[in-house]
Amino acid sequence: MSKKLWGTRFAKKTSTLTDRFTSSISFDKKLAKYDILGSIAHAKMLGVQRIIPVKEAALIVKGLKFILRDVIRRKIKFDPQAEDIHSNIQDLLLKKIGKVANKLHTARSRNDQIALDVKMYIKDEIKELVDLLALLQKSILKLANNNSKVIIPGYTHLQIAQCVLLAHHLLAYIESLERDKTRLLDAKERADLMPLGSCALSGTSLPIDRDFVRKELRFRGVTANSIDSVSDRDYILEILADLSILSVHLSRIAEDLILWSTKEFNFIDIDFSFCTGSSIMPHKKNPDVLELIRGCVGKIQGDFSSVLILMKGLPLSYNRDMQLDKPPLFNAIDTVKDILQILEAVFENIIIEKEAISAKISDESLFSVDIVEYLIKRSVSYRDAHDIVGRIIRDCLDKGKNISGLTNQELRRYSPKLSSDVKKILNAQESVNLKASYGGTNPKFVNNQLNNWKKRLNA
Ligand code: ARG
């Protein structure tokens, strides 16, 4: 078992129950790499500042690099009985280089050390998340691009609404994922202040050089208040908030795909490799991957609220409660990374059921707004136009007729401004072509957007 960093003052050994209850090594071993990198920078600084002899600093750095190599090669067995990752690495160093190792923790506390480790971890993970988000965006863009002419019925309230280009709908996903990227990068910016040197909470009387450590570890600045540095967990809350919002997007995308793959919609086919069958119903092909994506989102949002609740009302500065921020943080990040990868693969293999879709866009109620706007362009007020079209639709439904089946005379009975040329706009292509507003579903505009995204995502 690794030696406690604080045992001497204790008149008695801690209970094994206490050891087990307080230990965090089972999860904070994930931070090993960052703990060592932070320690290397710290040891170098101690040498440069002559707080410890240069030679000893060099020996510590050499020992740490050795341990780091083993960590990266996954050759290290962490001690399940260690109190935390900091004690475990300290102990490994002691075994490697002997008593000099005991100088490493000079002018440092685990309070500023853990803040540093987590910030470094989060900065790296945000880079990875942003890259994975870009890959997912690219696979969605590819599907949009390969099906740029397909028109689908758009929905509001999950009721058939108006025609839109499939590509337009898919580009909506790309927009939301882009906001997720910028939110994460924004959080990274604020997390990018180096806390080491705050020590327990008040700083140190030893002549440390925090800026040296900052440069070594590539932070953009150092934190300005030692108390805040060891109390603050905003960087964890922020990434969890951002992942919660991102996961809302992922769940909505998953839900669309689930709906679209049903027999009732039949807009898409999800590849067999991302579905499962039923043990009793031989005909089934279930979208379990997408359902689990939808389900995981609950866990991620739970992770965010668990850290929010953990932090609420804690007195400044450091409290051990804060150790519990890590499992939800790690879970949320790992889960989102898994989802981004599998969703990208799902999109790569989606087949668009063009024929089935084209059968769905003949429903003339999809064009009701187009007829309203036809009348408005002929000087009918919006309110009157809405009433006129409402009456036409009600009558057609009652009599089991289509609007396109009405004669010129029948149409004129509803409004003198209506004539059979209105029938020219009763089709999906005309409906999308007519849209003229920026951001709308006009094919020219959507094509521009496709090209813009191609440039942006390949840049
Ligand atoms: N395991 C602790 C955490 O995750 C590290 C800091 C412990 N500090 C302390 N004084 N016990 O927060």
120/33 Cα distance (integer angstroms): 10
Q: Where is 163: in which H helix or E strand?
A: strand 159-165
Ligand 1 mutation target, pool 320, 322, 329, 330, most atoms within 8 A of CB: 320
Active site residues: 157, 278
- CA 126 – ligand 1 centroid, Å: 23
Block mean pLDDT (10 aa), the chain, length 459? 68 85 95 98 98 98 98 94 95 97 97 98 98 98 97 95 97 98 98 98 98 98 98 98 98 97 93 78 84 94 98 97 98 98 96 94 93 96 96 93 92 93 94 96 97 94
Residue minimizing CA distance to atom 3 of ligand 1: 323
Q: How many CB atoms lie within 10 A of CB 193?
A: 19
- CA 315 – ligand 1 centroid, Å: 15
- CA 108 – ligand 1 centroid, Å: 12
Ligand 1 atom closest to 83 (CA): 1
Ligand 1 mutation target, pool 111, 199, 319, most atoms within 8 A of CB: 111
Looking at residue 371, what is its pLDDT?
95
Looking at residue 258, what is its pLDDT?
97
Looking at residue 420, what is its pLDDT?
87
258/253 Cα distance (integer angstroms): 9
* Ligand 1 pocket check for 115: Cβ under 6 Å: no
Contact 425, 163 (CB under 8 A): no
378/372 Cα distance (integer angstroms): 10
* Ligand 1 pocket check for 323: Cβ under 6 Å: yes
Using alpha carbons, select from 138, 126, 114 the residue that is nearest to residue 195: 114
Ligand 1 atom closest to 320 (CA): 12
- CA 71 – ligand 1 centroid, Å: 21
Looking at residue 1, what is its pLDDT?
56
Ligand 1 atom closest to 326 (CA): 4
- CA 323 – ligand 1 centroid, Å: 6
Looking at residue 6, what is its pLDDT?
67
